[in-house]
Amino acid sequence: MTNEAEKITAPYRLSEDDVYSEFKTSKNGLSESEAQKRLAKGKNEIISAKKDSPILLLVKQFIDPLIIILLVSSAISLSIGQFIEATAIFVIVLLAGILGFFQEYKAERAIEALQEMASPYANVIREGKEKHIHSSEVVVGDVIIISAGNTVPADARLIETHNLQVNEAALTGESTPVEKISEPINKNNLAVSDRKNMIFAGTFVIGGRGKAVVVATGMNTEFGKIAALLQKTTSRKTPLQQNLEKLGKQIGIAALLLAFVMALMGYFIEQKTFVEMFIWGVAVAVAIIPEALPAVVTISIALGVRRMARRKALIRKLPAVETLGAVDVICSDKTGTLTQDQMTIREIFTNDTEYYVTGVGYKPQGSFRINNEFVNPAYQINLMRLLEIGVLCNDTVIDFNKGEEIIGDPTEAAFIVAALKAGIDYLKLRKEYPRVFEIPFSSETKMMTTVHLVENEKLEAYTKGAFEIILDLSDKILINGIEKDLTEEEKIRIKQIAYQKSEKALRLLGVAYRRLNSLKEVGEANENLVFVGFAGMLDPPREEVKGAIRTAFNAGIRPVVVTGDYEVTAVAVAREVGILKEGNSITGPELEQLNDEQLNEIIDHTEVFARITPQHKLRIVDAFMKKNHIVAMTGDGINDAPALKKADIGIAMGIKGTDVSREAADMILTDDNFASIVAAVEEGRSIFQNIRKYLVYLLSGNLGAVLALIYAMVAGFSIPLTAVQILFINFLMDGLVAIALGVEPPEKDLMKKKPRKASEGILNRRMIEYIVSIGVLISVITFGIYFWEGTFVFSHRKLMTVFFVTLVFSRLFNALNCRSFDMPALSIKFYNNKFLLISYIISIISTILVVEVGVFQEAFHTVSLSGGEWLACIMVAAWVWIFIEVYKILRLTFSENLRTSNG
């Protein structure tokens, strides 16, 4: 049982005295005895939901219709002496079960990751003394002390702040550090990101210090609420799991019925013994049941996973690989996913001139342009002055030896990078103009001022901060390096220019200076300033994102922005990368006013969701799923974890992502690159397509064999295949060749096709028609040559051999058909799939040995064939490939002519 926080509506609305009163504490903190009483109610910990034991998890892997059918097949094979067949089936089932066990066991670690991320220790005031305790011992009412480098141990109301800045990106999705205050906020229903006088468990203090009264611990924190959502959120089965489960039942029932009927036919028509026909019927059932299906699925997915890993996408849950191929909506976080999470100065206004700065992120390569014409910044006096002030009134350092590591504030890093683009050595400049005094940034003043020693021992105060504040404090303006009076009319005009910039979601920082006669005047450093200009910056989109989003649209996939950031910023980024076109945007508070029915009405026309909370994200994902969309959710923060688990496939960031999001996700992008999702989707589509190829090949071949057997029995011929021959064909065709088809490389133009519908099974109408037509073709060809040979060949054993060889080669030719359901086999390079080539060689050699080598002839009931007979069998079997090849060519020609006439 977790510690119960006091039942109040909004701690952020309370004054300091009211906070003490509400939580029954004081400036001196709690007494030890009171703290122990409160601790007895529950520790400050994330409580995991009750989970299945490892043994129960393992047992559950085998409670599946397909697995049960395979185990029965194993027992049946064992009963007729097929020890190798039985062992192979059992090993496949065991491996599939173990794989599933490890995947589920690893997925449950998401809650444990939340526990590990909690702050290990905390500084509290108890009985007027500072004390260092384990974070699990923090209770409601404790007064905690925080400073730079601390992880916040619990949700708390700030009562004292000193330039306190907290990184809440993992909780809210906002990349910019939050400047905290201690004054009450008299507003209702504030979003977590707007509670500036609150700090939250699991967030990180990057600057300043403060004191706060704990108002919630454990599962009652915002952090804990997300953990609770994660525990309650269930993942629905992937389309592949649903289809395989259904298909397993259907094939199993059909196989048993067919085997039973055919065995009865043999018993009454052939006058065979009951035991003999039972064994033969069992062999037919074993041949029809696709015992290699789990192996094909596992191998196809495993190879796909390897290819994805090379393309920077790491798969955590194997069944989810296939789901990628059906995704038609991607709910993407903004910060760090679509953007680089690197503040960049895009535009500068100074000297009544607008400069555009090229280059993105923290790479110091770029240029300055006026109306798309390159300018040398060294000859732009005002521009150089603005950039020099920007790096002097600045505490940040960039370590380019450690991959552009930022030591300080991202906003200040943007000034450093812009200065480097202009050729300014900022470290050398800081040595030339040493700092002698500073007024740190505060949330009250919204600016920072530093005093420097310049030429001739003179002093200058440099100020940067919120644009409007800096402009209003200025009474002069720098024009061409000369100070001039700044009129009210001029201020209004500059504000109008700034407003246009802000509509592009640029964050504006003003820059100014003032000369001082001595340090005694530092109290006036922020008065009567000389306005130099302002810089507009933003977190730029990743370079690869635009192309990836275009590819997504071409593939019928709809990207949507779902972020905790402000609407104007989210809309600007969405529009720049190409997501926002004709759709709408909506904020979290607006979303709360909609019921589920109203949300369903707008969900397909909304492309940007801003100021979103974890609960909102769940509603959004759920709304898409209710409209039969296959939904992928990308994210990197704690706040994304429940939605990542709820979505059909959750995609977490590997570099900037939290442990919680990575554990809850199905896939992790190792390079945090949105473009890698597109590559993963292609692999997902390829995997599903290969599983479909395997099934179509398997079922069409099995149908052909069964129909040919039925034709022979109805026509009064002896049964043309023995149980051993049936199992031999099953081993070659349903094993080696079928598995080889399951690892075909991706076909061309996969990403130019629309995603398949969520309701579409592995075997859609076209595939079923394909199976039936090829099955009938194989049966007619195989029985045809058997019937023809029977008119002048009186050896039943030779007829059986001809039937056997023709059936084997018919199915080998059919494998060529199944490499693509659209493209002719002649257009696909055979050596692209070395596994198929090897399986062909093994199958052909094995068939020759069984027919021509004496020791095998007795076991498999075959006789040698002449060269002419071999050639006849192969040429007749080739019609299976020729017929389908001609059909594909005609179909492609017709489709091309239709496109030409419509175009």
pLDDT digits (tens, 9 = 90+) for 438-448: 988 877 788 99
* Beta-ladder partners of 332: 561
3-state class (DSSP) for residue 560: strand
Q: In this predicted model, what pLDDT tens digit does every residue of 258-278 receive, in sequence order? A: 777 777 777 776 666 565 566
Residue 560: pLDDT band with limits 50, 70, 90 = very high
Q: In this predicted model, what pLDDT tens digit does every residue of 527-541 receive, in sequence order? A: 999 999 999 999 888
Tokens encoding 44: 């400050």
Measured distance CA(381)–CA(425) in Å, rounded:
16
Residue 6: pLDDT band with limits 50, 70, 90 = very low
Check residue 90 and give its pLDDT: 65
Per-range mean pLDDT, top range of 518-522, 655-659, 871-875:
871-875
Where do runs of H (alpha helix) occur along 270-373?
Answer: 274-288, 293-310, 320-324
* Beta-ladder partners of 170: none
Give the CA-trace dihedral at 25, 26, 28, 30, to 10 degrees. Answer: -10
Spatial neighbors of 517 by CB under 8 A, at least 6 apart, are 459
Q: In this predicted model, what pLDDT tens digit does every residue of 442-494 receive, in sequence order? A: 777 889 999 999 988 899 999 999 999 999 999 999 999 999 999 999 999 99
Tokens encoding 588: 């979290």
Active site residues: 333
Residue 243: pLDDT band with limits 50, 70, 90 = low
Does the predicted TM-score (pTM) go above 0.85? no
Q: Are 118 and 202 in contact (CB under 8 A)?
A: yes
* Beta-ladder partners of 649: 632
Burial class (CB in 10 A: 0-12, 13-18, 19+), 275: exposed
Lowest mean pLDDT among 259-263, 389-393, 648-652: 259-263
The larger pLDDT score, comparing residue 66 to residue 380, is at 380
Check residue 437 and give its pLDDT: 92
Lowest mean pLDDT among 93-102, 174-183, 190-199, 422-431: 93-102
**pLDDT at position 114 over 60:** no
Measured distance CA(624)–CA(312) in Å, rounded:
27
Q: Are 304 and 687 in contact (CB under 8 A)?
A: yes
Q: In this predicted model, what pLDDT tens digit does every residue of 755-794 receive, in sequence order? A: 887 667 778 888 999 999 999 999 999 999 988 887 776 6
Measured distance CA(476)–CA(471) in Å, rounded:
9
Mean pLDDT in the chain? 83
Check residue 106 and give its pLDDT: 47
Check residue 269 and give its pLDDT: 67
Angle between helices 765-790 and 674-714 (to 10 degrees): 30
Check residue 40 and give its pLDDT: 93
Check residue 115 and give its pLDDT: 42
Give the CA-trace dihedral at 127, 131, 136, 141, to 10 degrees. Answer: 30
Tokens encoding 866: 């002449």
Check residue 425 and give its pLDDT: 95
Lowest mean pLDDT among 69-73, 164-168, 310-314: 69-73
Check residue 102 and give its pLDDT: 60
Please state the rounded mean pLDDT for residues 625-654.
83
The larger pLDDT score, comparing residue 545 to residue 269, is at 545
